[in-house]
Amino acid sequence: NNTLAGVIGGLPVCHGAGGVTAHYRLGARSAAATLFTGSLLLALALVFGAALPEILIRLAPGALAGMLLYVAIQHGLLAAQLERVPERLVAAGVGMVTLLSGNLAIGFGAGVAALTLHWAARRASEWARAQARRSPGLASEARREATS
């Protein structure tokens, strides 16, 4: 799947949001980025051979920490661009659910549920306004009943 995605210029399908954010923000916009990364990994394997895992074990934790920090900052900047309070609440809520549960799938599910509920509430509100415009007499009668 990823080979095909790279050939046609798509994003990798087994990547999380952090990897895609880092790749995109660092300039990866075409299949050449995937080809370059694969070529680099292949060259490292050919040059270092069986010693490569030992080298990566020593380098990986620091490199991963740096990449995670970079991605966290980029995601924070993306969240700061959300203009409406409900959008910011969903973003913060998904982050908190994910943090507290320690499970990205649960955070994702919470986000989908929140967005679905928000969408349904908006649709219901729009429907109610449309009904009130169609029959203003019923709307004023309903308001009188509610206040009495």
- Rounded to two decimals, the pTM is 0.52
| Cβ 112 vs Cβ 95: under 8 Å | no
For 130-148, write each residue's pLDDT tens digit. Answer: 888 887 665 566 566 666 6
pLDDT, tens digit, 9 for 90 and up, residues 53-104: 888 888 888 888 888 888 888 888 888 888 888 888 888 888 899 999 998 8
Q: Return the half-sphere exposure (C-beta side, CA atoms, 13 A cut-off) of residue 15.
A: 17
CA–CA separation, 88 and 79 (whole Å): 7
Tokens of residue 51, six digits: 């010693």
Tokens of 10: 């798509």
Give CA–CA dist 59/65, Å, rounded.
Answer: 10
